[in-house]
Amino acid sequence: MKAEGVDLLGTAVGHMKEKDFMGMDREWIQRETENFHVFYREADRDFAGALIERIEAFYQDICRRAYLEPEEDGYDLYVCGTVEEFLHGTGYAKEYYQDWMVGNADSVRRRLCILAPRGKGDLSQEYQEYLIKVMLHEVTHIVFNRICPGNRCGLWLSEGTAVCLAGQLDPEHASDRDYPRLAYLAGETDPVAFADKGGYTYGGIYVRYLMELLGMERFLSVYRGECRLEELLENSFESRAIAFCKELQVRG
Ligand SMILES: [Zn+2]
């Protein structure tokens, strides 16, 4: 989910200044992995630990699958304790914020934010696992943003790729009959409207099937805009994609 919010930081702020902005003098704890500087509060220690355990290996794997080397500069990752802190870190405007927005990647500022479980008052294992996948989704965005910056490749391709690679596919809740056509999703540029159209669920499914049909190398050339997708798709693409992903789910 990309930040389109107000740029509260201005444009010419340096790295340290941005950390000051998040109140680094207060009780942030910092832990380093090879490619991430992770900041969290004592109250979020367990969640931060579980996140750190997964994120580095995932990042390196996604880089490999995208035929990229990890970048030299790492990324800051903030585990925000409250919605207010999350808004602060992401630069989202309060009016823009939606309840489902719990993770964010900002490739320009090289910053990731996640709202900690206590931010929603849900400390269950299931919710923690859900949040970790949200963070893997955001990590996928920062890697694929190097292939096609911004959402130039289309929201459906960018979000679908992140959903798919982060393990967030949800074919069980996809309808065999009442699904959005790819062309309908592909025309959507507003993230909230995209979500309302089922863009995350179906975008993930369509991308997963596309990867299957094309293989990763050709999929990446679609992502770069080097080959036109229209010619690859037949009329029944969507229903075949849904059937394929449901079958994948059955096989586990
Ligand atoms: Zn996203």
* Residue 178: how many other CB atoms lie within 10 Å: 7
> What pLDDT is stored for residue 240 in this prediction?
94
pTM above 0.85, yes or no: yes
162 CA distance to ligand 1 middle (Å) = 6
Kindly state the average pLDDT of the residues 172-181: 93
159 CA distance to ligand 1 middle (Å) = 5
Kindly give the interhelix angle for 125-144 and 45-65, rounded to the nearest 10 degrees.
40
30 CA distance to ligand 1 middle (Å) = 25
165 CA distance to ligand 1 middle (Å) = 11
70 CA distance to ligand 1 middle (Å) = 20
Where are the domains positioned within the chain? 1-146, 150-252
Q: Residue 2: beta bridge partners?
A: 105
2 CA distance to ligand 1 middle (Å) = 6
Is 251's pLDDT higher than 50? yes
* Residue 50: how many other CB atoms lie within 10 Å: 16
Task: Using a CB cutoff of 5 Å, list residues around ligand 1, an ion.
Answer: 1, 159, 162
> What pLDDT is stored for residue 5 in this prediction?
32
Give whole-number Cα distances, 143 to 55, 127, 136, 150, 242, in Å.
13, 25, 11, 12, 26
Give whole-number Cα distances, 241 to 111, 115, 221, 233, 244, in Å.
33, 32, 20, 11, 5
236 CA distance to ligand 1 middle (Å) = 26
Give the span between the Cα atoms of 111 and 134, in whole angstroms. Answer: 15
Amino acid at 232: L
Give the span between the Cα atoms of 81 and 211, in whole angstroms. Answer: 36
Contact between 140 and 62 (Cβ < 8 Å): yes
231 CA distance to ligand 1 middle (Å) = 26
124 CA distance to ligand 1 middle (Å) = 23
137 CA distance to ligand 1 middle (Å) = 6
Give the span between the Cα atoms of 157 and 111, in whole angstroms. Answer: 22
CATH 3.30.2010.30 fits 1-146, yes or no: yes
161 CA distance to ligand 1 middle (Å) = 9
The separation between the first and the last C-alpha atoms of the chain, rounded to the nearest angstrom, is 27
24 CA distance to ligand 1 middle (Å) = 27
Is 16's pLDDT higher than 50? no
Q: Of the given ranges (10-14, 116-120, 130-134, 206-210), which has the lowest mean pLDDT?
A: 10-14
| Helix residue ranges per DSSP H, 110-236 | 125-144, 155-165, 182-186, 191-196, 199-223
Q: Residue 105: beta bridge partners?
A: 2, 112
pLDDT tens column, 120-135: 999 999 999 999 999 9
Beta strand pairing call for 36-40 and 29-32 = antiparallel
Q: Tokens 């389109």 sit at which residue?
A: 4
pLDDT-based confidence at 23, cuts 50/70/90? low
Cβ neighbors of 139 (< 8 A, separation 6 or more) are 55, 58, 59, 62, 105, 112, 166
